[in-house]
Chains A and B, each alone.
Chain A
Amino acid sequence: EAQVTQNPRYLITVTGKKLTVTCSQNMNHEYMSWYRQDPGLGLRQIYYSMNVEVTDKGDVPEGYKVSRKEKRNFPLILESPSPNQTSLYFCASSLMTGTNQPQHFGDGTRLSIL
């Protein structure tokens, strides 16, 4: 089944303790992206990647890092999490065919930073 898989689905942790949220897709998509979803603010892009070893900042990159060492994986790293990073996070992927293609989303990771 074609899907985007995120882990963990839920995490409660404390300020300053490094964490990584993994994202994997099995559709051979070139494009991958991370979003955060907050009440009243909708979905905002954190980082995106257009191919292996190619990453770039989205609208709200502060406090986050990403890497794209393999095509299928795009982990989101919080080196020193803070309470304002408490949010619902989504990973998405899409083909890049020269014309726009819809992004396919994982089921989300709910992070709580105490």
Chain B
Amino acid sequence: GESVGLHLPTLSVQEGDNSIINCAYSNSASDYFIWYKQESGKGPQFIIDIRSNMDKRQGQRVTVLLNKTVKHLSLQIAATQPGDSAVYFCAENSGGSNYKLTFGKGTLLTVNP
């Protein structure tokens, strides 16, 4: 069945280091992927997205990499800051017409000063 999972449930990094959060998906029909950040007491906040016709997309301090061969998605955060501490979710759209997103379980990123 469809699944979106994360390799690491928790990640702890030092301030200023780069962070990499990974995600595996199983539905080869998925054509759109999103990374969300969720801080305590708030809703998921959009970070960056990527469509299946791309393998890399960059934003401000963030980069998403998509490897369709192994069905793997990653989020790279450059120069991680304490404000980056949050739970990060990947989500996929399976290509259907209902715009449905399937979410991973989340990775808790902790940035140590």
Q: Is the CB of B43 within 8 A of A42?
A: no
Say how far B48's CB is from chain A's closest CB, in angstroms: 9
Q: Is the CB of A42 within 8 A of B104?
A: yes
Q: Say yes or no for B61: interface residue by CB 8 A criterion.
A: no
What is the total number of residues of chain B having a CB less than 8 Å from a CB of chain A?
Answer: 23
Q: Which residues of B contact A40 (CB under 8 A)?
A: 105
Given A42-B104, A43-B103, A48-B100, verify A100-B93 contact (CB < 8 Å): yes
Q: Is the CB of A100 within 8 A of B51?
A: yes
Q: Is the CB of A42 within 8 A of B46?
A: no
**How many pairs of residues, A versus B, come closer than 8 Å at their CB atoms?**
56
Given A42-B106, A43-B89, A100-B32, verify A105-B99 contact (CB < 8 Å): no
A11 and B105 CA atoms in complex are apart in Å by: 25
DSSP class of A's interface residues: helix, strand, loop or mixed? Answer: strand
A9 and B25 CA atoms in complex are apart in Å by: 32
Interface size class of A (residues with CB under 8 A): 20 to 34
Given A48-B100, A100-B51, verify A106-B43 contact (CB < 8 Å): yes
Q: Is the CB of B100 within 8 A of A107?
A: no
Given A100-B31, A100-B32, A100-B51, verify A43-B44 contact (CB < 8 Å): yes
| 19 A–B contacts from the bound complex (CB under 8 Å) | A31-B99, A40-B105, A41-B105, A42-B103, A43-B44, A43-B103, A48-B99, A56-B98, A94-B99, A96-B99, A99-B32, A100-B31, A100-B32, A102-B49, A105-B45, A107-B42, A107-B43, A108-B41, A108-B43
The 5 lowest CB-CB distance pairs between A and B, nearest first, are A105-B43, A100-B32, A43-B103, A102-B46, A42-B105
